[in-house]
Every structure is written in structure tokens, then in C-alpha cells.
Amino acid sequence: MREAGGLIIRPPALLFSFLMGQNVDRLVECVPNFSEGRNQTTVRALAHAVESVQGVWLLDRTMDRDHHRSVLSFAGEPDAVAEAAFRALRVATDLIDLRKHKGVHPRVGATDVVPFVPLRGATIQDCIHLAKRLGQRVGTELEIPVFLYEQAALHRDHAPLESVRRGGLQGLAFRMASDPDWRPDYGPHQLHKTAGAVVIGARPSLIAFNVNLRSTDLALARSIAKDIRQSNGGLPHLKAIGVELASRKMVQVAMNLTDYIITPLHVAFEAVRALAAEKGVVVAESEVIGLVPQAALIQAAGHSLALEQFDSTQVLEARLETRLFGESARRGSSGEQESVDINTQPLADFLDAVAAATPIPAGGTVAALVGALAASLGMMGARLSRQQGVEHRLNEIGQRLRDLMQADGEAYQRFIQATKLEKTDRTRPAALSSALHLATEIPLEIAEQATEAGVLLHACSVGVKPPVRSDLAVGLILAIAAADAGRHTVEENMNVQRNQRLKSSLRDRIELMTIRLEELRSLCYITPLQGRGGTRKKLVQALPGKVARREEWKSKSSIITSRKLSKLPRRSSREKDSSAN
């Protein structure tokens, strides 16, 4: 196992075919960050805590002396992963004392951050539930204040990790004592004496990517980080800080790529390299902390090697996974599902089923189908213009929407069954609320997935020929229709949901989805900017020189994003982007 920030590529087919043999239907990844990067005994104890849980596989661990930080990556069944995270967190609480900690990386806890990431068969909602359950347990059993972040956040100001970390431990302690909005979601209202606080959440996969400069000029690293991060008008979906690597006599631009399809690895690298070169500084090396999606490496390799008509299915492991996993899945599901599998129905039969005088399939299923069709049109455009990153993500969205076609009908059937419970049954109110909550989450995810497909369709249309651009415009219209349909179903279900706690848990997601949908709607009949100055107001007004540099970086990407979402969860004007998981 690698004990430093490095890169490990594992054949996915072998892992997933093995898991199929173990009857693992859902996979979740957890990537906890601990404030210990120098004591190998402590980090081994953390790893052993994870490995002590059956059904969990430790995939990677890294240590960094200068950051004074370690990162574990492990995956498995959701319940087992949550248990492993708790055991590791308990060990960290016993062995790590923040009062003695000195490192360059921002932190607020001995266990600083614990994100759950959905993998095969799991959803972001699964991870949100895990985050809340773990948070409640940590707050109660370990008496550590817990803040939920990213998509698990209960408070908008807590969603960005950098907001929680702002001002370090002292800043967080001050806000907890003086601002009612900064009371922790679980646990005591003051920091733990030695362990501080912990931030737990749910998020999509991200890449922790660092570029080390052959220089000791910390001001240069910080200046480059400021120029390239999204919050200062740089590259979209990129967070960055500049830090000193005293043990290596270098400085580092530490980055998080929160969407490697929009801003790929090679674009982030080129941005740092170009700005450093302006000051006569060269790149010494780069590193990936933890694990990285295979598609991101394929994307970077295809660009760097200028591969002609390269397809991701030409990767041996990817082709092997498709064959082995696909056949295993078909063998494992045969005869077990009583309801009709929509995805295997002929089109005529599906249309007849929608038209039948039965409650399912109905609106939610149709909305998911429309979103999947939009994603397919986008894949066509991406393949014709060789935008492999966009193609890969749209394929993922399309597959997920196909799954949601089936899930929507099953959720509604569960709700119908709950309504048939006797009114004297004490479990009836809880069963109804739970079933309705699921029947609301699914169309909400349909709307979220369709909106993301629409954004990618718009970005993809920059690099295609005019005839294809017309098809992508149709796809964009379909994506908006699917998202709007999902949003309508969500609103209808929220109106009849009586459980206020469940309603509250979805409000922020619904508001954010609505904002993004409205921004997407504004793109529907607008021609992409194609690298020329646009009329829409930018998130941050950048200097002309910065705009020119940004366009140069973007030109090296497989896609060009001409617009950025302007209404993300509210952020404090004082906060800085930080690079962390």
C-alpha cells in the first residue's frame, strides 16, 4: 500500500466481478481525512479499524508530512462502510490531539472530514442517509460536534466545506458560541477538547490533485491558486490553495477538481504550469491524493497523446468489466424480480403500458425516459466531436435515468401499499410519510440528473458542426422538459407530505435544483459563446489578462464551458476556497 500521495490503478472488472459473487448490490465509498501525517503507527491503527469490518475493502491510504494529514479510501456495502467510518473515527479521537497539531492543511478536527460517495448501485440519497446516521452516532457516543456538509447539509451556510473551516478551529469556536445558525447538527455545542469537530457529508466523486513547483516562493503558489480557482473567476469546479512543502523545499498548488469532466486534470495542470512559467518557475511533479476515476485518466491520456478517434471502450480493463459485470448482473437478477423490467420492454409495449388504465408507469417514468433521451442525443454529439469526458458523464446520467424509470413505479407502488394499511394501524402515518418521501426523492433526482444533462449538452454544442448543434438543441429542450416534469411531481408530493422533518430535509435540494433549472432554461435558445466575449454577467469580473489566460487553459480541454452557474448555495464573502475532501 502506498504511504504517500500517489496513484494506484486497479482493474475494475476484477473488483466488480468479485463483488457480484458476494451478492453486493450497492457500493458506497468513504474517504475520511485525518489530521495525522507523520505517525505511521497511528495511521496503521486507523486502517486496521476500517479493515476490522466485514464487507469493507480498504482501497488506498496516503500520508503527507507537510500537510500533516492522512486519507483513507474504502468501499463496501453502505451499512458496513458507515460502521467502518465510525470505528476509524473513534480511533482518531483516542490517538490524535489537535492541541499538538501543526500542519499546512486547513482542518477543524482530528477526523477532519468524512465524505460518503455513491458508487455502483447506490445513490446520493443513500449517502445522505449514511452521513446523518453517522453524524448522530458520533455526536451522541463520542461527544464531538458534527456539521453536515455538501449534499447532506441541513443549513445552506454549512454546505461548502471551506465555510465550516473558515478561521480554523478558533473561527469555528467563535461562530458556534455567538451565532445560532452555527450550532452543530449533532453533538455538543462546544468543540471537543482534543478532537475538535468533524464534518460529515455526501458528495459525488472528486479528484484531489496537487502540482509541486520547483520553488520556495509561497506567495507565487498562493497567487496561482487564487487565479485558477472558480471563486476568483478562474476554472469552473476547481478549488485551490497554495502551501509550503518545507520537507521537500518546494511549494504546492493543492487543488480539488469537483467535476473533472468540466475541468479535466490536464487543463488544471496546464493552468498551473503556464502561470508558473510566466515567473520563470517550472513544475517539479504532480500527484493524485487517494484514488481517481479511470475515466479522468483516459481523458487526460487521450488529450496528451493526441489519440485519433480514441474510444474509452478500447481500454482493456473497461472492456473486460463490461463483459464480466454485465453477464454476472444478468445471471444474478434472473427470476428474482416480479415486476416488469421497463428497460427490457419493446417500445410499443412500453407505450401501451403508459396508456393503460393503471397507475404505473406514469409521469415520473416518462420524465426519466425523456431525460435519458436527452442524454443520448448529447452522447451522439460528444462522440461526433470526440469529447470523451462529456460522453462518459452523459452515459452515466443516461444509465441512472433508466434505473429511475423503474424505481419511480416501484416507489409509487410502495406508497399505494401504505395507503391500504388500516387507519387504526399505528405504523400507517410513518409508512405513508416514508413512502411519500421516497416517491418525492426519485423525481427530484430525475430533475437533478436531467438538469446536469442539459448543462453538458449546452457545453458540448460549442465543439460540434451546425447540423449536429440543432440536434443538441432538441436534447437541451428535452432535458429541460424532463427536469420541469420532475420538479412538478416533487412540488405535488411536498404539498401532501405531513412529516415536516422529511419536508425540511429536501427543501435545500429542491431550491438549488430549481435555481439550476432556471439557469438552464435561459440557455435553451441562446447560441453558445464559442470563446468570444458574452453579454451575460460573470460570477466574478476578471481582468482582461485573466480572461485571456482562462480561455487559453480551456482551449486545451475536451470541452469548453462558456457559462457557470451563478446561484450556488450562499457563501460568505470572507471565505476562501480550500483544497480538501
Tell me the catalytic residues: 105
Please give the Cα distance from 242 to 244 (Å, whole number): 7
C-alpha closest to that of 459 among 571, 558, 383, 539: 558
Inter-CA distances, 277 with 103, 224, 226, 273, 552, Å: 28, 11, 16, 6, 14
Inter-CA distances, 53 with 56, 81, 128, 546, Å: 6, 8, 21, 50
Place of cell 491510504: 61
Can you read off the three cell numbers belonging to residue 251?
511549494
The sign of the CA dihedral 198, 79, 294, 442 is negative
Please state, as a whole number, how many other Cβ atoms lie within 10 Å of the Cβ of residue 394: 29
Can you read off the three cell numbers belonging to residue 414?
410502495
Give the number of C-alpha atoms closer than 13 A to the C-alpha of residue 40, restricted to the C-beta side: 4
Can you read off the three cell numbers belonging to residue 57?
475493502
* DSSP bridge pairs for 115: 201
Strand 111-118 to 198-202 pairing: parallel
Give the distance from CA 477 to its chain's centroid: 25
C-alpha closest to that of 67 among 201, 248, 338, 307: 248
Peptide bond into 184 cis (omega under 30): no
Cβ(526)–Cβ(573) below 8 Å: no
Place of cell 442539459: 454
Can you read off the three cell numbers belonging to residue 74?
474504502
Q: Three-state DSSP class for 547?
A: helix
Q: Three-state DSSP class for 294?
A: helix
Please give the Cα distance from 459 to 448 (Å, whole number): 17
Please state, as a whole number, how many other Cβ atoms lie within 10 Å of the Cβ of residue 504: 10
C-alpha closest to that of 492 among 351, 367, 407, 354: 367
